[in-house]
Amino acid sequence: MNGRDVPMRNGSTLPAALLVTLAAASLISLLSFGVRAAFGLFTAPLPPDVGVSREVFSIAMAIQNLCWGVAQPFAGHFTDKLGARKVMLGGAALYLLGIVGLLFASSAAGIYLTAGVLVGVGMGGASFTTALAALGRVMPESHRSWALGLGTAAGSLGQFVIVPIVQGFIGLGGWTAGAWVMVAAIAAVLVAAVFVGEGKPARAAGGHAPLSTSRMLATALAHPSYVLLVLGFFVCGFQLAFITTHFPAYLNDAGIRPSIASWAIAMIGLFNVIGAYLAGVWGARHSKKSLLAWIYLARAAVIAAFFVLPLSTATVMLFGAGMGFLWLSTVPLTSGLVATFFGTRFMATLFGIVFFSHQVGAFLGVFLGGFLYERTGSYTVVWCLCIGLSLFAAAMNWPIREGHSESFRRLAAAA
């Protein structure tokens, strides 16, 4: 062991540079995901002095999720080609501009542009997904699942830490005070991105022609297990975005105090620290696809129980704890399966495609939440959709075959 290697608890070592990257990527995950979760505190409505309806803000959040999903494959592509640092810096700058712009928005269109488009595109470059892609590229296989779980858990911790702080500032100085806290957090992401180490960019070897993106994607999408993974992750996005955006408003309609709603979201973040980390650890030892199927079945059970039980502070907190344990535990398993199928050379791009499906689901979850609420006066239909989609996702993950894609391996080796 040289002076730049750091011993781990299991007796192995990691270079200090990798630990710096792990710390920086985890901090980015913590701050960016925590800020994203805090947007739900403004749902009913944001901003009050402009008079934006819940449906209008829901559309802005739906645009945000869709833009994030559309931007993510491109961010992944540039991460594979150029490295993560530049992508994260550019994304954080847009993320920051979007929140600052929201502070000065004076119409629904302004909110669509700032909180929707700018924040959404910025998330594509500066979010936990890009941070995880960076970790997946630089971490050795022996530590990869653990690092992905730790990076995901950091995002959950951000939800636990950032959301109550933002809610506290909203209580003290209104929604603008909370928004300025979010500005400070994303400014810190800009600083942290400087310390993210670069993986080796994808390039042709041995004098062969470089592998085109279109051919690489076509080969990946011909892999049945990858398609099933993409379909299943759609459900994760639907559920998480609906709950993050509409859960505080749902509780507000039921007479639950805003402070309880913010702490319920924080409970999701706290228990997700445990769930995401354990998913990364268990994913290194057990079948990732089976763990994913059980997670989605458990979500169906937790949501159904919450929906039928009397609403109280206790059931709200128990729901936060239960959903939190299952919240982002899908991410290290899903990203780990992408690496299992195709290796890490194009991981950022290929996980970006999976995440695009996640964000299409997120778009529909947020949009349908606002749309159906305005027309029915309740969220009942969407809660039922969340339960049914959990069963669908479990059915998509059971048939997945864990193993390398031989056609993709041959294609990459020839490039």
Domains of the chain (ranges, CATH numbers): 14-199+211-414 (1.20.1250.20)
Q: Is the dihedral of CA 232, 234, 236, 242 positive or negative?
A: negative
Beta pairing partners, 13:
7
Beta strands per DSSP E along 208-253:
none
Task: Report yes or no: 330 and 278 within 8 Å, Cβ to Cβ.
Answer: no
Q: Can you give the pLDDT at residue 383?
A: 95
3-state secondary structure of 123: helix
* Contact of 1 with 131, CB cutoff 8 Å: no
pLDDT of residue 325: 92
Gap between the Cα atoms of 98 and 114, Å rounded:
4
310, exposed or middle or buried, with CB in 10 Å at 0-12, 13-18, 19+?
exposed
Beta bridge partners of 15: 5
Instruction: Look up the pTM and report it.
Output: 0.75
112 phi and psi angles, rounded to 5 deg: -60, -40
In the chain, the amino acid numbered 96 is L
Closest C-alpha to 178, from 315, 41, 282:
41
User: Distance between CA atoms of 331 and 128, rounded to whole angstroms?
Assistant: 10
User: Whole-angstrom Cα distance, residue 337 to residue 330?
Assistant: 11
* 115-368-326-140 Cα dihedral, nearest 10 degrees: -50
- Contact indicator for 237, 366 with CB cutoff of 8 Å: no
Write down the pLDDT at residue 208. Answer: 47
Report the chain's terminal Cα–Cα distance, integer Å: 35
* pLDDT at residue 405, as a whole number: 78
Q: Are 96 and 118 in contact (CB under 8 A)?
A: no
Question: Could you give the C-alpha distances from 352 to 33, 217, 234, 355, 382, in angstroms and in order?
Answer: 17, 11, 13, 5, 26
The whole-angstrom separation of Cα 1 and Cα 12 is 10
The reply to whether omega before 47 is within 30° of 0 (cis) is: yes
SS3 content of the chain, % helix, strand, coil (to 5): 80, 0, 20
Question: How buried is residue 253: exposed, middle or buried, by Cβ count under 10 Å (0-12/13-18/19+)?
Answer: middle
Q: How would you write the pLDDT of the chain (415 residues) with one tens digit per residue?
A: 444 554 454 445 667 778 888 888 888 988 988 898 888 777 654 554 555 666 777 788 889 988 988 898 888 888 877 878 889 999 999 999 999 998 888 788 888 999 899 999 999 888 877 887 777 777 776 677 778 777 777 877 887 788 889 888 988 888 788 889 999 999 999 999 888 876 555 454 444 445 667 788 888 888 999 999 999 999 999 999 899 888 888 888 888 887 787 788 778 878 888 888 888 788 878 899 999 999 999 999 999 999 889 988 899 999 999 998 998 889 889 988 998 888 877 877 888 889 889 989 988 998 898 889 888 988 999 999 999 999 999 999 999 998 887 777 776 665 5
Report the pLDDT value the prediction gives residue 99, as an integer from 0 to 100: 93
